[in-house]
Amino acid sequence: MLETWSLLLGGLSAASEPSILLAIMIGAVIGLFIGALPGLGPTAGVAILLPVAVSFDGTAAIAALGAVYYGAQYGGAVTAILLGIPGDASATMTVIDGYQMAKRGQAGRALGISVAASFIGGLIGLVLLTIFATTIAKAALAFGPIEMTALMIFSLSLISVLGGSDPVKAFVSLFLGVWIGTIGLDPILGLPRFDFGNVRLFDGIEFSIIAVGLFGLAEMLATPNATESAVTAKLRFRELLPKLSDTLRCWRELLSGSLIGFFIGVLPGAGAAAATMISYAFAKRHAKHPEKFGQGAVEGVAAPEAANNAASYGNMIPMFALGIPGSGTTAVLMGGLLMIGLQPGPMLFATQPQFVWTVFGSFYIGNLALVAITIVLTPLLAACAFLKPGYLYPVVIAIVLYGIFSINYSMFDVALAIGFGIVGYGMAKLGYPPVPLVLGMILGPLLERGIRRTLVASQGDLSVFFKSPIALTILALTLAMFIVPWLMNRRRAKAKAASALAAGA
Amino acid sequence: MLHVRQLDIYVSIILISLGVYVTYEGLGYGYVERGTPSAGFFPFWVGIGLAVFSAINLYRTVRRHGLIRPDVAIDAIAYGEIGKVLGASAIMAAFIGLSLVVGMTPSIFLLMLAIGAVFGPRNIRFYLGLTALSLAMTAILYFTFAYLLGVPLL
């Protein structure tokens, strides 16, 4: 454990270099604005900036993209409190009490506790990320291709089951993503597949093109315009400072929110929005005055804000430690890692410790810096929610098109991104979640390589997957995940039918 | 208004066809070679998965007889909205064509004006603001990509 903390100290020192600090600040500010803009969540923000960021130095790029991610969690709360408009899904629970507080003239107090909660949630999440990522990565070193393949099957299934309200559409989306991942040369035999006679598809489709199309362009186009019906509070700087008395008063909500947020965040597909709902419900259930929740309770802001920030770091555990992204945003981040030539997973800690710990160090610095940046920029962030699409869309689309072109200097890529923008818009309207598609595209090729290499080594013997106790346990868990809810539904239906019968008699 | 249910049915049929195509192509690439999986092994199963789940969705959607799904917030999309999205996509496609003729810098300026016109209000104050914003953004993009990142813009 001591070794971990000394490595982190080294990372903090490396992340204090001017170039990394600049990347953190730029990423944090952009993230704050993206979080505040209705329609552009952290996934869209990271996706839009991905092509631009990877043009810079690798460590600075990931530090900046990470800062966009956690910066967006801070920014979402500002418009949620001041305007009653959640910047992204994870800020929805903050609206309930935060907006009530603002309407009662306590906007500054609500913003203060949201900043304090974001910082504390982020800090707890970071400490847990530091501890668990290294521990899990060390344990995962024992995983061979068979175990990793089983883990990938489990993660893909979990994401598709937890990732949306419609598992059938989630699976359609997943298979579509896995198919897109097969486009290009076969990874083992080198045979071109699904190239449609176009040599430009031999290398497959660049991940960032799809991510930018699906998250950047589509999410923006599919979002209805915000209406101007909110509280426009005039705030003085002093009012925005977090109050120690509120922070101390909410210590239980801050702690429970952070822990719930982190552990929900670790689950692939569960996401920050689910973490905020659970932490809010938990805080309300254990509150001395639960009736005050929904009427402007400061605890009702503290719990979800701590949760969504902790969840953003929990989300990074599967990506860094196992090489499996658990959400859309971490999938895009993982795409960034792959684009700069790094393969996330347990070996990353062994082969690139300097990179990993500098990035982790940058997260600590960014989390602290965001407290000051958020307070200073709050009036501007509030104004952002009223930014007209007529001004916002041209700017975002221009950045997206230039960013995509800069990857391979190819207009073909730009055309593909536009195509995926339209596809993403259609998916949003029809209720097909885009996250499983992106994850399928990233994990599909890894899964194919894992399965085929294992079967080549075992000369086609499928039973190898059942000879490894770890793989067997993981596969059994995967199966249980489908069977248990089905059995529970059946039992519930039977009980309902029996009670209906009894009532009829 | 374009009904979501109707659109979902068409999309499901397209996805089933795609699944069948992927499976068929997968068989063409070779399923097994010397007892081990070949290039078509994975696409074969992916195609089957895509076709099966799309068929389940088609069955559910057809049986629902126009009922709105609780997880889909809308039951229809206004043609005006579709027009805006397609208009924006057409403008972006025109940007590609125009870039090849006059270069990316003047094209992005025109693209921003056109996108703003599609999504913004129709008054002279907005157009003046949009023109200023587009000019500033064009300059920022040129500086960032051409100078800072060394991207050879068209």
Q: What is the DSSP string of A391-409?
A: HHHHHHHHHHHHHHHHHHT
User: pLDDT tens-digit profile of A411-450?
Assistant: 988 999 899 999 988 888 888 888 888 888 888 888 888 8
**How confident is residue A201, by pLDDT bands cut at 50, 70 and 90?**
confident
Are residues A455 and B7, on separate chains, in Cβ contact within 8 Å? no
| Contact at CB, B113 and A399, closer than 8 angstroms | no
Tell me the Ramachandran region of residue A344: left when phi exceeds 0, alpha when psi lies from -120 to 50, beta otherwise.
beta
Task: Give the pLDDT confidence score for residue B15 in this predicted structure.
Answer: 96
What is the distance between the alpha carbons of residues A433 and A427, in angstroms, rounded to a whole number?
7
CB interface of A with B, residues 384-423, below 8 Å: 388-391, 393-395, 397-399, 401-402, 405-406, 409, 411, 414-415, 418, 421-422
- CA angle centred on A290, ends A288 and A296, rounded to 5°: 110
Average pLDDT over residues A200-209: 81
User: Are A161 and A170 contacting, i.e. CB atoms less than 8 angstroms apart?
Assistant: yes
Closest CA–CA distance from residue B125 to any residue of chain A (Å) = 12
Please indicate, yes or no, whether the overall pTM of this predicted structure exceeds 0.95: no
How confident is the model at residue B67, as a pLDDT? 47
Of A165, A406, A411, Cβ closest to residue B99? A411
Q: Determine whether the interchain pair A429/B77 forms a contact, defined as Cβ–Cβ distance below 8 Å.
A: yes
Query: Which residue among A414, A429, A456 places its CB closest to the CB of B4?
Result: A429
- Burial class from Cβ neighbours inside 10 Å (0-12, 13-18, 19+) for residue B12 reads buried
Contact A430 B11 (CB under 8 A): yes
A193 chain-B contacts, CB cut-off 8 A: 25, 29, 39, 43
Please name the residues between 102 and 131 in chain B that touch chain A, using a CB distance below 8 Å.
104, 108, 111-113, 115-117, 119-121, 126, 129-130
B80 touches chain A (CB under 8 A): no
Print pLDDT tens along chain B (154 aa): 778 888 899 999 999 999 999 999 999 988 888 778 888 889 999 999 999 999 999 999 888 754 445 555 567 788 888 888 888 889 989 999 999 999 999 999 999 999 888 888 888 998 999 999 999 999 998 888 888 777 788 8
Contact at CB, B149 and A406, closer than 8 angstroms: yes
Which helix (H) or strand (E) segment holds residue B32: the answer is strand B32-33
State how far the Cα of B56 lies from the Cα of A497, in Å rounded to an integer.
26
Q: Is ipTM > 0.90 here?
A: no
Closest Cα partner for A305 from A256, A356, A364? A256
Q: Are A61 and A20 in contact (CB under 8 A)?
A: no
A229 contacts chain B (CB < 8 A): no
Q: CB–CB of A186 and B57 under 8 A?
A: no
The DSSP call for residue A84 is S
User: Which of A142-151, A169-178, A225-234, A279-288 is the least confident region?
Assistant: A225-234
Burial A164-198 (b: 16+ CB within 10 A, else e): bebbbbbbbbbbbbbbbbbbbbbbeeeebbbeeee
User: Which residue of A lies nearest to B60 if distances are taken between CA atoms?
Assistant: A168
Specify the amino acid at residue B119: F
- Whether residue B9 lies within 8 A of chain A, CB to CB, comes out as no
Helix axis angle for A299-314 and A107-140, nearest 10°, is 30
Residue in B closest to A57 by C-alpha = B149
Sequence-ordered alpha helix ranges (H) in A342-468: 346-351, 353-384, 389-408, 411-430, 434-457, 464-467
Contact A339, A54 (CB under 8 A): yes
Residues of chain A found within 8 Å of residue B27, distances taken between Cβ atoms: none
Q: Angle between the A271-285 and A92-103 helix axes, to the nearest 10 degrees?
A: 50
- H-helix or E-strand spanning residue A196: none
How far, in Å, CA of A302 to CA of A121, rounded? Answer: 9
Hey, are the CB atoms on B100 and A186 less than 8 Å from each other? no
Please state, rounded to an integer, the average pLDDT across all residues of chain B.
86
pLDDT tens for A235-249 read 666 666 667 787 788
Distance of alpha carbon A467 from alpha carbon A465, whole angstroms: 6
Cβ atoms of residues A206 and A417 within 8 Å:
no
Chain B partners within 8 Å of A401 (Cβ): 92, 95, 108, 111
- Contact list, A179 vs chain B (CB under 8 Å): 18, 22, 43, 46-47, 50
Contact A452, B41 (CB under 8 A): yes
Q: Mark yes or no for CB contact B11/A429 under 8 Å.
A: no
Per-residue pLDDT, averaged over A136-156, amounts to: 81
Separation of alpha carbons A63 and A209, rounded Å: 21
Q: Do A166 and B69 touch (CB under 8 A)?
A: yes
Angle at A228 between CA A222 and CA A234, to 5 degrees: 130
**A163 or A49, which is more confident?**
A49
DSSP H or E run through A499: helix A469-504
CA proximity to A322, closest of A355, A352, A345:
A345
A460 touches chain B (CB under 8 A): yes
Chain B residues in contact with A228 by the CB 8 A cut-off are: none
Displacement of CA B67 from its chain's centroid (Å)? 27
Nearest to residue B83, comparing CAs of A394, A416, A221? Answer: A221
Element (H, E) at B91: helix B79-102
Closest CA to B119 of B108, A89, B127, B107: B127
Please tell me which residue of chain B has the smallest CA distance to A396. B112
Q: Does A455 touch chain B (CB under 8 A)?
A: yes
Tokens standing for residue A280: 């809010």
Do B29 and A422 make contact, defined as CB atoms within 8 angstroms? no
- Dist CA A344 CA A7 (whole Å): 18
Q: Which of A486, A482, A438, A439 is nearest to A155 (CA)?
A: A439
Q: Among residues of chain A, what percentage have pLDDT more than 70?
A: 90
Closest among A338, A348, A345 to A324, alpha carbons compared: A345
Q: Note whether B46 contacts A182, CB cutoff 8 Å.
A: yes
**pLDDT surpasses 60 at A191:** yes
pLDDT at A234: 58
Interface contact B49-A55, CB threshold 8 A: no
Is the per-residue pLDDT at A297 higher than 80?
Answer: yes
Confidence of residue A488 (pLDDT cuts 50, 70, 90): confident
B2: enclosing H helix or E strand: strand B2-3
Residues 6 or more apart whose CB falls under 8 angstroms from that of A103 comprise: A231, A296
What average pLDDT score do residues A80-84 get? 76
Q: Which three-class secondary structure state does DSSP give residue A63?
A: helix
> Looking at CA atoms only, how far is residue B124 from chain A in angstroms?
13
The residue-averaged pLDDT of A150-173 equals 78
Task: Flag whether residue B100 sits within 8 Å of chain A, measured between CB atoms.
Answer: yes
Q: How confident is the model at residue A501 (pLDDT cuts 50, 70, 90)?
A: confident
pLDDT score at A226: 45
Average pLDDT, chain A: 82
Contacts of A451 in chain B (CB under 8 A): 37, 41-42
Percent of chain A beyond pLDDT 90? 7
Which chain B residues have a beta carbon less than 8 Å from that of A399? Answer: 141
**In the structure encoding, which two tokens stand for residue A404, read together?**
């995509």
- Cα(A12)–Cα(A6) distance, integer angstroms: 10
H helix intervals, A54-166: 58-83, 92-103, 107-140, 145-162
Res A238: pLDDT: 64
A-chain residue closest to B6, CA distance = A430
Contacts of residues B89-93 at CB distance under 8 Å and 24 or more positions apart, as own/partner, are: B89/A418, B89/A421, B89/A422, B91/B115, B91/B118, B92/A397, B92/A401, B92/A414, B92/A418, B92/A421, B93/A415, B93/A418
